[in-house]
Amino acid sequence: MASHNDRWTVQYDKNWDVLGPFPVHAREQHFISPAYPLDLSRSLDYNESWPSAYADNGTVKWTRAISDENGRLNITFPDIRWSHLRLTEGWAALQHHALLRTTLTLHPPANSSVSRAIPQLLINIKQGSYFTLQPRFGDVQSFTPVWYAGNIYDIERALAHVVDFPAPPSFDTPSEYDLYISGDYEIRLFGDPRSYQSEVPIQSLTIDIHVKEDDLPFAHVKPLDVPVEFMSGYAFGDALGIGLQSAAEWWTVAGVNLKSEITGMQLRLKQQISLAPSQARTVSIVISQTKPFHGNSIDVEIVLTANGVTKSLVVAISVNHKTPGTAGRQWIQGSYFFAGYIPSPFLAVLPTSIAEDGQHPFPLLALHGAGVDILGDGFWVTSLPDNGASWILVPTGRTSWGLDWHGPSTQDAWDSLAALIDISNEERRNFPRSWQIKPNSKVVALGHSNGGQGTWYIASRYPDRVVAAIPAAAYIKSQSYVPLTLARQVLVQRGGRFVDPYLRAILECSLTADDNDLHISNLSETPVFAIHGGDDKNVPVWHSREAITTLKTWKPSANVTYKEDPGEDHWYPNVFLNPQVQSFLEEAQVIGQNKDDSDFEEFTLTVTIPWQCGSLHGWAIKELIIPGRLARLTVRKLNDSEYSVQTSNVLSFAVPKQKQGCRLLIDNGTRITLTSYGSMHIHRVAPYEWKVMDPVPQISRPSCRLQSILSTPGHLHIVIPNLADNDILSAALRMAHVLNQYHRLEANIVGEETALNWQRSDSWPSGNFIFVGPPSSKFAQRTLVGSDADSDIRIVNSVPYIKERRFERPDQALLFTYPHPAEQKAIALFIIYNSRDALERALRLFPYRTGIAVPDWVVVGERMDRFGVGGIEAAGVWGNNWKLNETMSWFLH
């Protein structure tokens, strides 16, 4: 090991300068500059004051804070009259932004014979939103900050960012840099200070900074491993993942082998993957067996190539074994390939009894709360009710926060179910007949807190797949958890004070698909048992009361039970472990087994994004007249062979298998007699005029929001113009980092020549792709050229246009979804920028968290740094066939 004198070393000053607080609502830090209110191209004046509505006299100045030896930094503003502010604004008044600054010093090796290569840093900022380094030497005025996303959720097993120095350090004397952190207090992250007997909110951050050691070209990264446990000698799933990180080169994982032969076991690479310099990824390995294995570890050799050089790395994977029939609750970690390629874990709790012959009980789908690490702590599994003859499926949701059980988190739940179904039906396992889950089985969904909200979400978006629902301590939606009232009325120099109400409405349309209250009509036929502690200090009890009220407004006779436990807080041990829940579960199994989907009187199906929603009684909305707006389909049974159908914003819908001769009366106009026994597709051809489409046409899949890029049918591919361009490669690596950290999504970084070859040869790999580059990029030019473009965005002479409007200012950037050139179920996201400043601005809007209100397309400029959403220059939702929808579009000029 090198001595201290042979290495670069880094330290940061434990004394911090703090500027704040400034009002901010949840996620607004993705719109304003992380350095708000500063312009980092100007020198700092620590005597300057800044306007803030939170402070007496309306101004704040710099203050000081000190971090401890463990890197813990607590930020408070005791002079703010927080209790006075919350009298009228409630929790929303507690949310605030602060800018934190300290000095970081890099010391060169004392030994002059050591390699003169410039090092990199490993920086992990827990519960901070963004951070950047700025040199304290050179030309500061021309400096463009490179902002890295912090681990704001403090997600488990998260890797540090690999950070390049913004200016080369000295090899002879210490070099100083300013470290800036955007500190943002959110109620969901830090909680109500009154829970720790205080009126003053505390931002609690942890800073960890080290010099990256590059002794090896690549290394095993254990936090990214996806092991699989074995039951009776067989792997509980076919996916195995091993984390690797490259040092400074591009490496391709070319193959895997068993280092020591294991009889009856084989490993193969699911797909070749590439590692960009400093990138960490999980190698996808298929494990197959013809004989049981009872060893304690599996030694895997991974073969990598780079520039004609082949190297290998051997990783020992520890193996845990489980045996059916063990006394007490028993669970096992299984695995599957998310989106067909990404090794992913889940937990399965084994049934404790055997059902009567011929019965296949519905599994319980148990959704954990925010921050609950199901793989590292058995708390959640042991808190669940007795499952009897049912399996309990406990998905990860991708991570402990995921996407609040939306998007890829929902996808993870259903894909985990499909994997458990396959495993339960494998002949070699010899499970009792009732343990074999039927293909396409429905579930009983339950969850607590964020998982309770997720239960409302999944049950209302896929009502035909959920037999019954038990949401506990659930919030209705993010906007209601911490109301955005303050953001609209009081914000100083940001957001609500500056935004055109029409633009605000369009931005909020990107959140509509997440709004459980607007989709709760879909649960009018589903048994629901809602639970809430009467003294919940985390999620106010009114959320469950209001959800029940909304459901009963749709159907007063709905099968809904509400249990409010007086005096109980957010979590208490018998939330689910009580006789009432047990009785409901047993009744739900009976109701589900006997349910007839054709047995209804009337229902209303509500949908926002059709391809992200399921059916109700077999009826499904397939296309909208105006994407981005709600669509509703109300079906009333007139008799056994006639239905009245009323539509709102529905362009086409599917009718389930019906008796031949069944008749539909649609919108009190068109009468259609169904002549087929199969499902039928009904299309609106004119107002009050409908017809049966046979064969079913290809359906347009507009995404309605940038967040849809996370729902991918394969790996995500990040396409950049030049792999050797450090600025653009840095952007791609930062995007890949947040995708992995927040969602365990794999990002494959490739150059545009590779993408152009895929396009020419029609050989695109499965999955969504993201293109990041200037409008002069070859791939952007060829894909978005003139009248050949598939949407109304095009590039002409290296200038981006939306129809006739051009966007060529250096500070401007465009983000927009786009149809995938080859795969109908995939989409693309383009980030087109005119300068490095514009690129940094655009990257903040990459929607890796819920609640970032960005629709299908948006244009941003430098005004957004100060005015938040009020600085957006254009935004909208695509119409069908990816064309500009004037009704759902807004332009500044």
Same domain membership, residue 235 and residue 172: no
In a domain, 643, yes or no: yes
The answer to the question of residue 674 being in a domain is yes
Q: How far is CA 524 from CA 548, 616, 648, in A?
A: 11, 10, 18
- pLDDT score for 694: 78
Q: Tell me the CA end-to-end span of the chain in Å, nearest whole number.
A: 62
3-class SS of residue 168: coil
- The pLDDT value recorded for residue 660 is 67
Residues 363 and 434 in one domain: yes
pLDDT of residue 489: 39
- H helix intervals, 482-596: 485-489, 501-509, 542-554, 579-594
114 and 231 in one domain? no
Q: Is residue 577 part of a domain?
A: no
Tell me which of 632, 665, 693 is where a domain ends. Answer: 693
Residues of the chain predicted below pLDDT 50: 1, 485-493, 787-788
Report how many helices (DSSP H) and strands (DSSP E) the chain contains, helices first: 15, 52
Taking only Cα atoms into account, the Rg of the chain, rounded to an integer number of angstroms, comes to 28
Judge if 778 and 798 occupy the same domain.
Answer: yes
- Does residue 428 sit within a domain? yes
The total of other beta-carbon atoms located within 10 Å of residue 887's CB is 13
Enter the tokens of residue 317: 């994977």
Question: Is 506 a member of any domain?
Answer: no
Look at residue 658 in the predicted model and tell me its pLDDT: 72
**Residue 527: C-alpha distances to residues 450, 471, 522, 549 (Å):** 20, 11, 12, 15
Residue of 847, 825, 702, 711 lying closest to 766 (CA atoms): 825
Task: Examine residue 566 and state whether it is found in any structural domain, yes or no.
Answer: no
pTM of the model: 0.96
Q: For residue 678, what pLDDT is reported? A: 67
Q: Which domain holds residue 147?
A: 4-211
Q: Which residue has tokens 């402990």?
A: 400
Q: Residue 83: CA atoms inside 13 Å, Cβ hemisphere, count?
A: 6
Which residue is it, tokens 């792997």? Answer: 235
Q: Which pLDDT does position 484 carry in this prediction?
A: 52
Tell me: do 654 and 780 sit in the same domain: no
DSSP 95: -
| CA distance linking residue 792 with residue 277, whole number of Å | 36
What's the pLDDT score for residue 696? 75
Chain centre distance of CA 442: 24
Structural tokens at position 344: 């992913």
Last residue of a domain, one of 211, 243, 259: 211
Determine the residue type at 783. Answer: T
pLDDT at 599: 86
SS (H, E, C) 246-259: ECCCCEEEEEEEEC
| Confidence at residue 488, expressed as pLDDT on a 0 to 100 scale | 41
Q: CB count, 10 Å around CB of 139?
A: 9
57 part of a folded domain: yes
**CATH number of the structural domain spanning residue 781:** 3.30.379.10
Residues in CB range of 810: below 8 A, 6 or more apart: 834, 835, 837, 838
CA 479 to centroid of chain Cα atoms: 17
Tokens representing 129 are 């939103």
The Cα-based distances of 535 to 92, 482, 495, 570, 571 in angstroms read 19, 17, 33, 7, 10
Question: What tokens does 804 get?
Answer: 């006739």
Q: What is the pLDDT of residue 481?
A: 83
Residue 232 and residue 138 share a domain: no
User: Residue for token digits 């669970």?
Assistant: 331
Q: Do both 169 and 26 map to the same domain?
A: yes
Residue type, 892: L
Last residue of a domain, one of 693, 714, 746: 693
Residues 272 and 401 placed together within one structural domain of the fold = yes
For the record, the structure tokens of 877 come out as 């939702």
Provide the residue type at 617 as one letter: H
Residue with structure tokens 């009187």? Answer: 601
Same-domain check for residues 324 and 204: no
Whether residue 180 is found in the same domain as residue 245? no
Tell me: do 303 and 399 sit in the same domain. yes
Does residue 718 share a domain with residue 682? no
Question: 3-state class of 165 per DSSP?
Answer: coil
Per the structure, the count of domains in the chain is 4
Question: Within a domain: residue 631?
Answer: yes
